[in-house]
Structure 1
Amino acid sequence: MKRPLITSLALVALATLAACGGEAKSGHANEALGTKAALQPAQPKRETVQGLPGMPPVLDPTDVYAADRPNQLSPAVRDFPSRVYVPNTNSNTVSVIDPKTYEVIETIPVGAQPQHVVPSWDMKTLWVNNDRGNTLTPIDPRTGKAGRTVDVHDPYNLYFTPNGKYAIVMASLDRELVFRDAHTMKREKTVPVSCYGVNHADFSLDGKYFIVSCEFSGELLKVDTEKMKVVGQQKLPFNGAMPQDVKVSPDGKRFYIADMMADGMWVLDGDKFTEPTLLPTGKGTHGLYVSRDSREMYISNRGEGTISIFDFAQNKLTKKWHLPDGGSPDMGGVSADGKVLWLSGRYNSEVYAIDTRTGVQLARIKVGSGPHGLAVYPQPGRYSLGHTGIFR
């Protein structure tokens, strides 16, 4: 008996099924599948990013914040109560706010001059950076209780390498980047720097380098993550520059650096590390926070009580929100559902809750003196890179 001719459409179907590990079906169903496959446009091949060894795979090469969508909480944090942790630098305490009632429900004594509350890489611990106390205070976000302090010198800020291997202490006055074991905080390597006031950072898309701001000397560093080595350094082109927070763009191509003296944010090509350009935003530009849909960035202007909104796709500022009665919006984060921006009021002993859809102030909450790097917790993401919550 003569075998029927296999059409080119059927061959497409067979090839498609074979590639997908499926089994070919006979008759009209097979031809229909082949026709459907042939008519569908070819899907573009998604770029594969070769990340830092040991780092979790990049979910989306076009969006480093792909894991940060509304309420996409990791199983590691899903059962944690929603809280806002506020380090009061001058009061040596952490105020704990219930975001549902906008009330302080607890005040935790910590070490001298707490600067930031930092989620650990595995997201199971919150580390309070007691800068002048030369200690870290761990808080269990499941219970809200503080644990035994850990001796760490000059911990102004704290970050974690994307592979979870090291914690990086921003030793601002010591002029050092100190790489420590991410769990025990044992010192592994000290990297002296010639700039002054290392304070904030963010990592490239592949995690292989990070950009650091040097507050008191107006400089930027580029650091090789794996080699733990400074590979680039430059002075910002503004007399009296004072760089603060650092954030990478969703596509990983640009870094934004807030500058409280230049009253704007610098836009930097991180790969090339060429001279950045300045985008004016407002007086005392300080904190940078990405929206849950990766479309916008909230920019706190501490010196004028406003928040500027930057649209990534349009590459421009689109809105400015003014706090009623002014204020000093500083550091903070976005709620898990993306609906509320929380910021500390550095010079007003208060915290602001702002509706991210309208810019309307939802609450103004009194806390201790000198509130600084508050952490909204838990937040979506697979792991933490540190600061008040940089998640991937």
Structure 2
Amino acid sequence: MKNKVRVVIILLATVAIVFAYKQTKSKGGYLAYVPNAGDGTISIIDVSANKLIDEIKVGDSVSHGIAVSYDGDKIYTGNLEDGKVFVIDVKSKEILKMIDTGRNLHGIDITPDGKYLLTTSGDLQEGEEFNYINVIDTQEDEIIKTIRSNGKSPSHIDFTKDSKFAFVNNVMSGNVSMLDIENFELISTFDVGIMPNESELSPDDKYLYVANVQDSTVSIVDIKRGREVDKIKAGEGTHGLAVSSDGRYLWTTNMFSKDVSVIDIENKEVVKTIKTNGQANHISILPNSNLAYVSNLESEDISVIDMKKYKIVNTIKIGKEPHEIKFVKNK
């Protein structure tokens, strides 16, 4: 009898452990959200399981940018050609609100303090209609300001950590505009390379690194001096970039050479090259980890790279023409 009781206790304990493990796996960690421009969807990836778990249909096409609210409860995405921003509830995956910008909708970026969402109307062509930046108040989810860009065809935006300044990449004029967030005024312009698509600040906010697609370089802009101070050759078609948490390395995605470059910032040279499955598009580093996620246009998947081993450790199939990658805590 004692043996039977002992067996039952062991079985119950095993079930409890398995249940607790499943609960831990389903909660906590991060989810990755990726807009797929080719089929108008957003892929949702459970990064702990390394698999696609859901998909949200936005429209016929979706904007290349995507943003997450400060509390992680809302996702901001958009319809590329119709110019509509969609506010999506993370839990229900339902659209809470639609904001009509009245223009093309390329970049979607949020200030670090979560107060403002900035959208851009850029495209790979020139024209007055592509030269605007919209500012959305995230409390009301309404447009409060429309800014005429001093550059041509603004794309993606990065911000200082105190949310006081924004840096807007202008793909058709070869420069970056600096925006004063408090007054919503453009205060400076930096000349960089040809077709600057994306940028990211150094951890101390002293330097801006800019990915230039057409000349396959990264521009280094000294913010205090207000100009480009150096340029580093990367892979062919440098489109996206990320800075390591220690500020020592730049990771760039190169569309034409279909690879990722790891650049030693101090020595200004490429130290590693990692081939990807297709056109390497955007790159994001998973918080508190040594993993980088790369979206690949041609192969329609995500390459997960171990940043210490410099190799792809997982590949996750998603939608058509994937672009930016944003992480949300799995509550």
TM-score category, normalised to shorter length: 0.7 to 0.9
Aligned match for 1:147, one of 91, 95, 100:
95
Aligned match for 1:303, one of 229, 252, 256:
256
8 Å CA contact 1:112–1:133 kept in 2: the answer is no
Task: Pick closer, same or farther for the CA change 1:250–1:234 going to 2, 3 Å.
Answer: closer
Aligned match for 1:127, one of 45, 52, 76:
76
1:348 aligns with 2:299: yes
Deviation at 1:318, TM superposition (A): 4.9
Higher relative contact order (CA 8 A, sep 6+): 1
> Is there any run of 5+ residues in structure 1 with no aligned partner, and where?
1-78, 380-392
> 1:165 — aligned with what?
115
Q: So what's the TM-score if we normalise by structure 1?
A: 0.69
1:227 aligns with 2:183: yes
Deviation at 1:333, TM superposition (A): 1.4
Amino acid in structure 2 at the alignment position of 1:277? D
User: Structure 1 residue runs of 4+, over 4 Å off?
Assistant: none
> 1:286 — aligned with what?
239
When you count strand as a share of all residues, which structure comes out higher? 2
> Is there any run of 5+ residues in structure 2 with no aligned partner, and where?
1-26, 123-128
8 Å CA contact 2:234–2:270 kept in 1: the answer is no
Aligned match for 2:321, one of 367, 370, 381:
370
8 Å CA contact 2:88–2:97 kept in 1: the answer is no
Amino acid in structure 2 at the alignment position of 1:362? V
Amino acid in structure 1 at the alignment position of 2:117? A
Report the Cα distance in structure 2 between the residues aligned to 1:252 and 1:102, rounded to whole angstroms: 32
Q: Which has the larger radius of gyration?
A: 1
Deviation at 1:295, TM superposition (A): 3.5
> 1:84 — aligned with what?
32
* Aligned residue pair count: 296
Report the Cα distance in structure 1 between the residues aligned to 2:161 and 2:74, rounded to whole angstroms: 24
Amino acid in structure 1 at the alignment position of 2:89? D
8 Å CA contact 2:37–2:320 kept in 1: the answer is yes
Q: So what's the TM-score if we normalise by structure 2?
A: 0.81
1:181 aligns with 2:137: yes
> 1:385 — aligned with what?
none
Render the CA deviation track for 1:261-289: whole Å, top value 9, x for unaligned.
11010011122222443211110111111
1:5-16 equivalence runs, <5 A: none
Task: Pick closer, same or farther for the CA change 1:274–1:183 going to 2, 3 Å.
Answer: same
CA RMSD of aligned residues (A): 2.4
Render the CA deviation track for 1:26-76: whole Å, top value 9, x for unaligned.
xxxxxxxxxxxxxxxxxxxxxxxxxxxxxxxxxxxxxxxxxxxxxxxxxxx
Greater alpha carbon shift after TM alignment, 118-127 vs 202-211 = 202-211
> 2:153 — aligned with what?
197
Deviation at 1:162, TM superposition (A): 4.5
> 1:43 — aligned with what?
none
8 Å CA contact 1:121–1:182 kept in 2: the answer is no
Render the CA deviation track for 1:305-333: whole Å, top value 9, x for unaligned.
22122334x34335223225x52111131
Report the Cα distance in structure 1 between the residues aligned to 2:196 and 2:216, rounded to whole angstroms: 10
> 2:272 — aligned with what?
320
Task: Pick closer, same or farther for the CA change 1:253–1:88 going to 2, 3 Å.
Answer: same
Report the Cα distance in structure 2 between the residues aligned to 1:87 and 1:176, rounded to whole angstroms: 22
Aligned match for 1:331, one of 277, 282, 288:
282
